[in-house]
Amino acid sequence: MSISESNTNMNVIDRDGLDRLFEVLVSEGYLLIGPRVRDASVVYDEISSTRDMPVGLKDEQEPGRYRLHERGDGAVFGYVVGPHSWKRELFPPVQKLYQVQRNGGKPDMEAPAADVQKRALIGVRGCELAAMAIQDKVFVDGPFVDEQYKRRRENLFIVAVHCNEPAATCFCGSMGTGPAARSGFDLAMTEVIGGGIHEFIVETGTELGATMLDAVPHRESTEDDRVRRAMINETARQGMTRAMRTDDVHRLLTRNYESPRWEEVSERCLSCANCTMVCPTCFCSTVEDVTDLSGDHAERWRKWDSCFTSDFSYLVGGSVRPSISSQYRQWLTHKLATWQDQFGVIGCVGCGRCISWCPVGIDLTEEVAAIRESEHPAKRYV
């Protein structure tokens, strides 16, 4: 997929044009995966049109809190992010690796057929595109390529959406990943609604994206459209209330392995692994082997795992990280510091999911600031 870093080709489609785009994608063999409401939250699942989407809804997010409310308008993308991330489509929570069947005295091993289904991801935010790029480093760009991940990645069509209103838990501005999507998309949209107008300013990121857009009624953008888009993006950036300093975070965390803050946060942490499950970049997994009672058939499955479980660090004789403080330290230090040693980037994109979906409202930006402040008690940091 060829991605342009600078997207200057802009057009405008109306509200009906969005559904028409979906029809075009389906006619080209794409399975539409987009936002819909389930269990009082916005999740990603199969959709057929905007009728399936959370039209007119917004999400209220705070540490340990997530609620959906009516917006009072018909915004299609008026929410921010929910408990699902797009890694579910590339790195499924449960995936069969292979199966073995006894054939007489000879075992036959068979891997699952390659997933060749084309998927169109609808409503991907800038932070989530950055998360995909980070997981690409893990599964594709390294010495060991995950072929299933690679095949799914190659068959994606991405419709990104620039955020109009960040959630209170967002800090993508600090991480350089949003609120506007910068690259990694086929099409990117800014939703414009109000004053009797409901349109989408569409940027083209790839030739494939341009081809799909050509099949949808649209007009060329005007200077007013471009100014409106810039104002919406800037308002979203200015509206972000959380921040995290990152220039020295590697040095800060790696010299504070013995900080008393780890014990303090462990008094609240439930070690429930919610933060790793909702995180769009966490990729830890475990492998399980199952067999039938006859012993003639066995399967190997890969499942998401978390560094917050005691079994995760189990070696002969016991767990290396049996305490909650050591587990939280491992997660945060890897996410923000040693991830850079492995992959050259920070493993956090500032989506804020781990803050919203932590049952006790632990905020990693607050934890980093507290560790920094502990070194210089007279100062306060973000």
User: Tens digits of per-residue pLDDT, 20-74?
Assistant: 999 999 999 999 999 999 999 999 999 999 999 999 999 999 999 999 999 999 9
Q: Which residues contact 330 (CB under 8 A, 6 or more apart)?
A: 307, 313, 321
Mean pLDDT, the chain, rounded, equals: 94
CB 322 within 8 A of CB 330: no
- What average pLDDT score do residues 10-23 get? 97
Residue % of the chain over a pLDDT of 90:
88
Hey, what amino acid is at 37? V
pLDDT for 314 equals 87
Alpha-carbon distance of 380 to 382, in angstroms, equals: 7
pLDDT for 295 equals 87
- What average pLDDT score do residues 67-84 get? 96
pLDDT for 5 equals 38
- pLDDT-based confidence at residue 1 (cuts at 50, 70, 90): very low
Helix (H) or strand (E) holding 133: helix 126-139
Burial class from Cβ neighbours inside 10 Å (0-12, 13-18, 19+) for residue 381 reads middle
- What average pLDDT score do residues 104-128 get? 92
Predicted model pTM: 0.92
Hey, what amino acid is at 360? V
